[in-house]
Amino acid sequence: MRPTILVTGAGGQIGFELVRLLAPHGEVIAADRASLDLADPDAIVAAVRGAKPELIVNAGAYTAVVRAESEPALAGAVNGRAPGILAEEAKRCGALLIHYSTDYVFDGAAATPYPEDAPTAPLNVYGATKLEGERAIAEVGGHALVFRTSWVYGLRGRNFLLTVERLAAERDELRIVADQVGVPNWSRALAEATVRVVAAGLPAAAERAGLYHLSATGRASWCEFAQAIVGNAQRPRVVPITTAEYPTPARRPAYGVLATRRFEAAFGFALAEWRETLARCTASTKERAGRSPGSKSASASD
Ligand SMILES: NC(=O)c1ccc[n+]([C@@H]2O[C@H](COP(=O)([O-])OP(=O)(O)OC[C@H]3O[C@@H](n4cnc5c(N)ncnc54)[C@H](OP(=O)(O)O)[C@@H]3O)[C@@H](O)[C@H]2O)c1
């Protein structure tokens, strides 16, 4: 029998990709914010009990890093408490839970890639609430895979790729932070990796329950990421600046590269280098032609 798969945050960057890619592997119930508000505990319980899924993939999150500083209660409900409720309900119905977290649980003081058990010390409300969510899942003690990732971009939503593309069309010069280092990840590559884990069988995935770092390889500053997006064009010029020159209400870690050895050992594959994946993403011209023009603006969310 095909498993029932509940995907929350189905309208988001990863959620959108998951819904399409999981379809051959089960009956997918795509719950976007309009149909399931993750800030409403009763709605979460009702959704899971109604769906009776074998797999829950929680791709929903409050990802507006700057806005979270002024909306900590809502960010806490969605990122901190909803994952625990989903984990409870997954345990109750015998489902596997897959959840995503972030490199922003770290303070960025490291100089080498963070392993899963490195001490956490989030610098902003978003990171603190995501850490709360990880802990809530761990406390439930059911079958859950938590994938920490970083710098997610894609062809829809609000993200750095689309912001740089828009600004590149408007300006001669882009001033981009060069003293924050991390790894860009295409939402589709993350969804593909998730589906590959699921496709190997839910019991096998459940046996590997735990916390993993899931990321492309390599590293980049935001400035290098922007340069790679702009490519060899004469314009715009990409000018490196410091974080101090671009102050925002949310502090961000200076270093967020995640060590992915544990994931590779458990699941037997690694993600590609980030530049290779970016090239694959930007080559997806068909979709780009079809995406809605009003859906993107502002800056990278995470
Ligand atoms: N984006 C990044 O750079 C990044 C980096 C590391 C880890 N992650 C993690 O990766 C996962 C997926 O992120 P993403 O990049 O796909 O983010 P995204 O594009 O912002 O998607 C998140 C989705 O959650 C939805 N959502 C927000 N509040 C909700 C609520 N109260 N109830 C139901 N849904 C709600 C959003 O809906 P609206 O669009 O209507 O708000 C959006 O569709 C998250 O766990 C995130 O923390 C993201």
pLDDT digits (tens, 9 = 90+) for 247-269: 889 999 999 999 999 999 999 99
pLDDT grade, residue 178 (50/70/90)?
A: very high
In this prediction, residue 301 carries a pLDDT of 42
In this prediction, residue 285 carries a pLDDT of 59
C-alpha 183 to ligand 1 mean position (Å): 18
User: What average pLDDT does this structure show over 47-61?
Assistant: 98
Does this model's pTM top 0.85? My answer is yes
In this prediction, residue 234 carries a pLDDT of 77
Helix (H) or strand (E) holding 43: helix 41-51
Share of the chain above pLDDT 70, in %: 94
In this prediction, residue 230 carries a pLDDT of 93
| Ligand 1 nearest atom to the CA of residue 61, by list position | 24
Does residue 302 surpass a pLDDT of 50? no
- For residue 274, count other CB atoms closer than 10 A to its CB: 26
User: What average pLDDT does this structure show over 121-136?
Assistant: 98
User: What average pLDDT does this structure show over 128-141?
Assistant: 98
From residue 300, alpha-carbon distances to 119, 151, 158, 160, 260 in Å are 25, 8, 6, 4, 23
Cα 123 from Cα 104, distance rounded (Å): 7
Does residue 300 surpass a pLDDT of 60? no
Question: Pairing relation of β-strands 4-8 and 185-186?
Answer: unpaired
| Ligand 1 nearest atom to the CA of residue 37, by list position | 32
Cα 277 from Cα 274, distance rounded (Å): 5
C-alpha 40 to ligand 1 mean position (Å): 16
Cα 141 from Cα 240, distance rounded (Å): 45
From residue 299, alpha-carbon distances to 127, 203, 236, 249 in Å are 17, 39, 17, 13
Residue nearest ligand 1's atom 44 by CA: 61
According to DSSP, residue 120 is labeled: P
C-alpha 234 to ligand 1 mean position (Å): 34
Cα 198 from Cα 184, distance rounded (Å): 23
In this prediction, residue 288 carries a pLDDT of 63
Return the closest-CA partner of residue 144 out of 86, 192, 188.
86
Cα 274 from Cα 276, distance rounded (Å): 5
Active site residues: 126
In this prediction, residue 235 carries a pLDDT of 85
Does residue 295 surpass a pLDDT of 90? no
Grouping H, G, I as helix, E, B as strand and the rest as coil, residue 124 is coil
Structure tokens given for 235: 């314009």
User: What average pLDDT does this structure show over 168-172?
Assistant: 93
7, 63, 86: residue to mutate for ligand 1 pocket, most atoms within 8 A of CB: 63
Cα 279 from Cα 151, distance rounded (Å): 16
Residues with CB under 6 A from ligand 1: 9, 11-15, 33, 36-39, 59-63, 78, 100, 102, 130, 149-152, 157, 187, 301-302
Question: Pairing relation of β-strands 55-58 and 96-102?
Answer: parallel
Residue nearest ligand 1's atom 5 by CA: 150
Helix (H) or strand (E) holding 278: helix 274-282
User: What average pLDDT does this structure show over 37-51?
Assistant: 98
The two counts, helices (H) then strands (E), for the chain are: 13, 12
In this prediction, residue 232 carries a pLDDT of 81
C-alpha 167 to ligand 1 mean position (Å): 23
Cα 86 from Cα 209, distance rounded (Å): 15
Phi then psi for 120, rounded to 5 degrees? -95, 150
Does residue 87 surpass a pLDDT of 90? yes
In this prediction, residue 85 carries a pLDDT of 98
C-alpha 9 to ligand 1 mean position (Å): 6
| Ligand 1 nearest atom to the CA of residue 126, by list position | 47
pLDDT grade, residue 191 (50/70/90)?
A: very high
In this prediction, residue 296 carries a pLDDT of 33
Q: Which long-range contacts (CB under 8 A, 24 or more apart) does 49-52 make?
A: 49/89, 49/93, 51/4, 51/6, 52/4, 52/93
User: What average pLDDT does this structure show over 200-206?
Assistant: 94
pLDDT grade, residue 286 (50/70/90)?
A: low
pLDDT grade, residue 284 (50/70/90)?
A: confident
Q: Are 1 and 172 in contact (CB under 8 A)?
A: no
In this prediction, residue 247 carries a pLDDT of 84
Structure tokens given for 37: 């508000």
Does residue 145 surpass a pLDDT of 70? yes
Return the closest-CA partner of residue 194 out of 148, 255, 251, 240.
148
Return the closest-CA partner of residue 116 out of 223, 208, 227.
208
